Structure 1
Amino acid sequence: MVANARDQLKADHAVLVISLRRETIEAHEAIFKDITLLCLDDLFSTALECDVTILNELVDITRELNSGLAEFDRRTDISPAPPPLRLDVLRTKPAPGAAPPPPPETQGHRLAEELLEITPGRSTKPQKLSSGRPAAVSWRLYEIVAEECFQYLFGTDLTNWQRQDHVGGKDKRFDSLAKVSGDDVFSRSLIEDFRTRYVLFEFKNYGVKLKPNVLHVTEKYLFPTAMRSTAIILSPLGFHPDSREAARGAMRDAGKLMLDVTSDDLAAMLRAKDEGNAAGARFEPLLDAFLLDLGR
């Protein structure tokens, strides 16, 4: 098609830009005789030399392609894609005498300290954190900090965050909702295996383990047919044993996934994020443990 278009337009050259990596088409390069072929890795190399902003946009496009909806219906047999590009690795070494690189990220440690400092329970007395964050009642403070924690933790793997939206009436609402945009193993498991494009977040600053009635309310906000079948429920102490059985029942009967995350779990993930560990790598064991424990 490109060759025909070049001939019809009497053009001197023809360029074909594709989203595949060159290694996947090396055996077929003879097809592209007299046509300049630009593959994904060529674009990355060129962008790296001229503009990091363009490079970041290419990474975002690639992530969206890799987690595209077209892959819901079938799995491909091509070899796994190489690990995602890391800009910190690609950057050239600083010249002698240049300013030292910035210190490691510490936002995760700061958020973890704030999260664990919040007093569990639904007290109506405003609480002020040592970080200087504006005072608020503990349950509301927990929601605010928790959402920031997950946004930092997942980064671009979860996007389009929505907060405190009503569902089926003003007295029913979820805390946060985000779109799955990543191409890591955890994101692809949600998209391909659980057919979900959106993750619901519930933040429950309870002073006791969560009872099954809390999960039953969250379950009503999940709609597998609308690609929203997954919820991550954060609380200081986690699920009550009866709630774990309720979560397993929702998975078996309706394909609704509700993951239990404690404040200590999230704090550990945030600290690991500062060290360069991806959020998906910490959520994969939680997902595996839940599925392996799923009985009849």
Structure 2
Amino acid sequence: MGRVKELMMEYRYQEADFREIICKIYQANGYTWLGGFDETNSDPEFHNPYDIKMRSQDGEEVLFDIKIYRTRNVESTLIFNGISHVTELAVAENVRNAKIITNVDVSVFSLPGELKGVKLQVIGRNDLLSLAGSDQLKTELSEIMDEFIEAPMEAQFTPAPPTMFAPVKRRNFDPDLAIKRLQDCPVSEGTPYESACSYAIKGVFSSDFNLWTEEQHNIEERFHRLDLMGHVNSKNEFWRGLRYDFRSRYIVFEFKNYAEPITQKEIYSTEKYLFSGALRMVAIMVSRNGEDAGSLKARVGALREHGKLIMLLTNNELIEIVEAFKAGDDTHALLMANLHRMISVIGR
């Protein structure tokens, strides 16, 4: 897991740089620092739930929630979940002003100006550059934001903005219920765990797939059974990259609720489901307790020898993704880190 940790640390450094430049910009506009997230303090007792708190020129306290997305095509649900999240933080802190700061363009969204008595602003890339003022701050800000999104999109996707703010219901998806089901499912209970994982993945990524198989989908006249498979229909760079780079219109999902880390045996079994002629060359496995060294070696071999990508998430990592969705954060950062890890360890 070393390479994933390294990449996640790199992401954290980038996020810290973004928070720092945001503080500089608002301090240059007359705001005063009051507190915020401290990277160096891991003690939960002293952990601030918000990213930044400042006092405006008018003497009003303002909470800032920083949202970094590694795609230009941000789904509206994440923005609205972020609004709900920062509103709850503001109410809990007895603060009546809150801002979401993000690195992407948000002009396409119809956003509320107030919610639960909290005045809200969502500040996107273009607004930030305008606020930056000096050429030096603009250059520094632009360089930081450019680090978040590696590949330029060939065309900008414009989501249809809602006419009014409302939390978007996605097939009655409840993130809290999804987390509870993943946490409470007994070890070694196969079917309940498959159901819990399917519920979480379908809920979080419903806009990235337009068709799902039923659970325990049969292929080759019941010779193989897939836990879940989805047809990719996404504007997000992560899923589009999998679709085009690996010629995989379908993503296979497999769920393993074992007491011990999975072994190469489970990888070889999953590899049989992947077939270029059927345009399914990518699988994402969720293993409650991760994998052993033999499993990683088998996944690397499948990619190097046959071009079959098998990514792995632990149960806790899937819960992190659901929590990110609930808070309106980027749901693909952890998946991207896993993909980078796989690509980076491949030898000839």
User: What TM-score does the superposition give when structure 2 sets the normalisation length?
Assistant: 0.52
Aligned partner of residue 258 in structure 2, secondary structure: coil
For each residue in 1:203-252, what CA deviation from the matched residue of structure 2 results, as whole angstroms up to 9, or x when unmatched? Answer: 11111111101110110110023210000111101121110010000000
Equivalent of 1:194 in 240, 246, 256: 246
Distance in 1 (CA, whole Å) between partners of 2:153 and 2:290 is 39
Equivalent of 1:173 in 207, 225, 240: 225
Give unpaired runs (5+ residues) of structure 2. 1-107, 111-151
Q: Does 1:230 pair with 2:230?
A: no
Distance in 2 (CA, whole Å) between partners of 1:169 and 1:265 is 33
Give unpaired runs (5+ residues) of structure 1. 1-44, 49-77, 94-100, 122-137
Q: Partner letter of residue 81 of structure 1?
A: A
| Aligned-residue offset at 1:169 | 4.4
Equivalent of 2:199 in 148, 151, 166: 148
Percent identity over the alignment is 28
For each residue in 1:160-219, what CA deviation from the matched residue of structure 2 results, as whole angstroms up to 9, or x when unmatched? Answer: 110212233435311111100001111111111111100011111111111101110110
Q: Does 1:283 pair with 2:335?
A: yes
Match of 2:326 in 1: 274
Equivalent of 1:247 in 299, 302, 306: 299
Q: Partner letter of residue 109 of structure 1?
A: D
| Matched ranges for 1:16-35 at <5 A | none
Aligned partner of residue 211 in structure 2, secondary structure: strand
Match of 2:310 in 1: 258
Check conservation: 1:104, 1:275, Cα contact below 8 A: no
Equivalent of 1:183 in 229, 235, 239: 235
What's the C-alpha RMSD, in Å, of the aligned pairs?
Answer: 2.8
Q: 1:202 to 1:103 in 2, by over 3 A?
A: closer
Q: 1:274 to 1:175 in 2, by over 3 A?
A: same
Q: Does 1:87 pair with 2:154?
A: no
Q: Does 1:118 pair with 2:185?
A: yes
| Matched ranges for 1:101-112 at <5 A | 107-112=174-179
| Aligned-residue offset at 1:109 | 2.7
Q: 1:158 to 1:277 in 2, by over 3 A?
A: farther
Distance in 2 (CA, whole Å) between partners of 1:228 and 1:82 is 27
Q: 1:216 to 1:79 in 2, by over 3 A?
A: closer
| Aligned-residue offset at 1:112 | 1.2
Distance in 2 (CA, whole Å) between partners of 1:179 and 1:290 is 22
Aligned partner of residue 119 in structure 1, secondary structure: coil
What is the count of residue pairs matched by the alignment? 198
Distance in 1 (CA, whole Å) between partners of 2:326 and 2:277 is 36
User: What TM-score does the superposition give when structure 1 sets the normalisation length?
Assistant: 0.61
- Max Rg structure: 1
Q: Does 1:295 pair with 2:347?
A: yes
Distance in 2 (CA, whole Å) between partners of 1:79 and 1:218 is 32
Check conservation: 1:202, 1:231, Cα contact below 8 A: yes
Distance in 2 (CA, whole Å) between partners of 1:159 and 1:103 is 17
Distance in 1 (CA, whole Å) between partners of 2:242 and 2:336 is 10
Q: 1:172 to 1:184 in 2, by over 3 A?
A: same
Equivalent of 1:211 in 258, 263, 268: 263
Q: Partner letter of residue 262 of structure 1?
A: T
| Aligned-residue offset at 1:104 | 10
Match of 1:21 in 2: none
Q: Partner letter of residue 184 of structure 1?
A: N
Q: 1:291 to 1:169 in 2, by over 3 A?
A: same
| Aligned-residue offset at 1:116 | 1.3
Check conservation: 2:286, 2:315, Cα contact below 8 A: yes
Check conservation: 2:157, 2:235, Cα contact below 8 A: no
Q: Partner letter of residue 149 of structure 1?
A: A
Q: Partner letter of residue 178 of structure 2?
A: L
Distance in 2 (CA, whole Å) between partners of 1:79 and 1:179 is 21
Check conservation: 1:219, 1:256, Cα contact below 8 A: yes
Q: Partner letter of residue 322 of structure 2?
A: L
Distance in 2 (CA, whole Å) between partners of 1:285 and 1:120 is 27
For each residue in 1:95-134, what CA deviation from the matched residue of structure 2 results, as whole angstroms up to 9, or x when unmatched? Answer: xxxxxx659998223201210111212xxxxxxxxxxxxx
Distance in 1 (CA, whole Å) between partners of 2:177 and 2:312 is 23
Q: Partner letter of residue 159 of structure 1?
A: N
